[in-house]
Amino acid sequence: MILISIPSPGSDSLEIGSLDLRAYGLMIALGVLAAAWLFTRRCTQRGHSPELVSSATVWAVIAGLIGSRIYHVITDWKSYEGNWGEAWQIWEGGLGIPGAVIAAAAVMWVFARQKGIPFSDIVDSAAPALPLGQAIGRWGNWFNQELYGRPTDLPWALEIDPEHRRFQYVDEDTFHPTFLYECIWNLALVGALLWAGKRFTLKPGRLFGLYVLGYSLGRLWIETIRVDYASELGGVRVNIWVMLALIIGSAAFLLWGRGGGETGPDQAGSGGPDTDEAVPGEAASPEMAPEDSAPNQPGSEGSAAENISLET
């Protein structure tokens, strides 16, 4: 007998006066707003104008929503076979985070080239903002009573109404709350990335690599306990293959770029020392390229703090 469990909401919508808001869409919107806020704050701290950052945010959100839905439909196409009109009903659930990240990154790469700004500034600014938005957005799955895990009688087990259970679990009452697991994991990842950006010497782009690695590791073990329908490849959920590929790719990227002593943009934006001042406890670099002695413009790839060699 289960004495403690997490109840599911009685409705997948929220009524505010005469408005009837779909809770899933509302949670996604709140997640997007939170991610946009943190991304904007971090990007402007790197010297980029609020107007440019706002433009980048709009394009990233549009690309992310489209990419996430396309990814979901591609990896779960059997659910829409013969009824493709439902493929764009986002409010019913079904947004693939890998698709959102890939599409947004591709659009931001084009945006950065057109505006003449470092692509690494964008992705490193977005690194902790993405899991923040994901953590909030996952609560939409709670309202929809979807994406839950195997049956369990743990104190934090999630109650699922019979109409939302898979047929083989119709006699089970409570399940692993995978939405909550991913929410907690992502919030921890936000904190870890913010700390790493301040604490360690990272080359441009490596903070984003840490995000990909950290998120993929968490999503991998969560995928292994989910019981919702998903397309498989070789008897294994497609998302597990995707997470394994992302783990290998991001780990290789981080190991390949572990050498060198460039400071991360987070350190540059947090009041780091200037290049013409000695760093306490550190010896001056014996070799400097001629252009390193010239003052740098704010927001450029060769910012002052990036020319300091620090060890952590």
**Tens of pLDDT along 95-127?**
788 889 999 999 999 999 999 999 999 999 999
Give me the pLDDT at residue 280, please: 44
Give me the pLDDT at residue 182, please: 96
pLDDT in tens, 251-266: 999 998 665 444 454 6
Position with higher pLDDT, 78 vs 156: 156
Domain-embedded: residue 170: no
Residue 93 and residue 141 in contact, taking contact as beta carbons nearer than 8 Å? yes
Which structure tokens are listed for 76? 């779960």
Give me the pLDDT at residue 75, please: 77
What mean pLDDT is predicted for residues 207-227? 96
Domain-embedded: residue 15: no
Residue 135 and residue 187 in contact, taking contact as beta carbons nearer than 8 Å? yes
Cα end-to-end span (Å), the chain? 52
Domain-embedded: residue 282: no
CA-CA distance, 26 to 94, in Å (whole number)?
14
Domain-embedded: residue 43: yes
Domain-embedded: residue 276: no
pTM equals 0.77
CA-CA distance, 35 to 33, in Å (whole number)?
5
Q: Return phi, psi of residue 176, to 5°.
A: -65, 130
At 58, the pLDDT band (50, 70, 90 cuts) reads very high
* Amino acid letter, 58: V
Domain-embedded: residue 88: no
- Per the structure, how many domains does the chain have? 1
CA-CA distance, 122 to 125, in Å (whole number)?
5
Domain-embedded: residue 168: no
**Alpha helices of the chain — where are they, by DSSP H?**
23-45, 50-75, 97-115, 119-126, 129-137, 139-144, 178-199, 206-223, 238-256, 265-268
CA-CA distance, 312 to 231, in Å (whole number)?
44
Domain hosting 248: range is 22-77+94-151+178-256
What mean pLDDT is predicted for residues 193-208? 93
Domain-embedded: residue 277: no
What mean pLDDT is predicted for residues 147-159? 94
User: CA angle, 239 as apex, 238 and 245 as ends, to 5°?
Assistant: 95
Q: Which residues have a Cβ under 8 Å from the Cβ of 87 and sit 6 or more positions away?
A: 69, 73, 80
pLDDT in tens, 275-310: 344 444 444 444 444 444 444 444 444 443 333 333
Average model confidence (pLDDT) across the chain: 81
